[in-house]
Amino acid sequence: MILEHVAIYTNDLERLKNYYVQYFGAHSNEMYVNPTTNFSSYFLSFESGARLELMQKPGIPANKNDTVVEQHEGIIHLAFGVTTMQMVDEKATELRDHGFSILRGPRKTGDGYYEFETLDPDNNRLEVTSMFVVGKAD
């Protein structure tokens, strides 16, 4: 079994779609619109085969959780994998240079990842990660 896709509601479909296309290499389908329910969405596909559905519909309330500082139950982040620690550093620099916050890292974790945490334009928490060999010198 595979995880087919993850879905996110947003109040700005184009902004969020463009972010994932520009910074994470997503490929977007054409916007789907249901005129009866006023629902719109894009499916974004990634190199791995994973997909992200971005959705918009009037009347969806804002998330009341603090996604920037606090943690909460439920889905807390999306993780994007790259093949090298250098690629993690390069992505952190690119996002920082374009005005996006880096919450933590890049850093080595105790479970064998090299990663940083950031936020997308809707303050959804993201990680960019690469595996490293524990105990290996840089």
| Res 135: pLDDT | 56
Q: Which fold has domain 5-56?
A: 2,3-Dihydroxybiphenyl 1,2-Dioxygenase; domain 1 (3.10.180)
Percent of the chain topping pLDDT 90: 82
Mean pLDDT, rounded, of the chain: 93
Looking at CATH, the fold of the domain delimited by 78-131 is given as: 2,3-Dihydroxybiphenyl 1,2-Dioxygenase; domain 1 (3.10.180)
Residue 134's pLDDT is: 59
Rounded Cα gap, residues 10 and 15, in angstroms: 9
pLDDT tens string 78-92:
999 999 999 999 999
Q: For the chain, which residues make up each domain, given as ranges?
A: 5-56, 78-131
Alpha carbon of 32 to those of 13, 53, 62, 93: distances in Å?
11, 11, 22, 34
Comparison of pLDDT for 65 and 25, the residue scoring more: 25
Give me the residue label for tokens 């603090």.
66
Q: What is the pLDDT of residue 2?
A: 87
Q: Which long-range contacts (CB under 8 A, 24 or more apart) does 131-136 make?
A: 132/85, 132/108
* pLDDT given for residue 102 in this prediction: 97
DSSP code of 18?
H
Predicted pLDDT of residue 133: 64
pLDDT for res 105: 96
Q: For 29-87, what is each residue's pLDDT tens digit?
A: 999 999 999 999 999 999 999 999 999 999 999 888 887 888 788 888 999 999 999 99
Checking if the pLDDT of 137 tops 50, the result is no
Same fold, 5-56 and 78-131: yes
pLDDT band at 136 (very low <50, low <70, confident <90, very high): low
Alpha helices, H only, the chain: 13-24, 85-97
The b-or-e profile of 61-93 (16+ CB within 10 A means b, else e) is eeeeeebeeeeeeeeeebebbbeebeebbebbe
Distance CA 24, CA 19 (A): 8
**Are 114 and 107 in contact, with CB atoms under 8 Å apart?**
yes
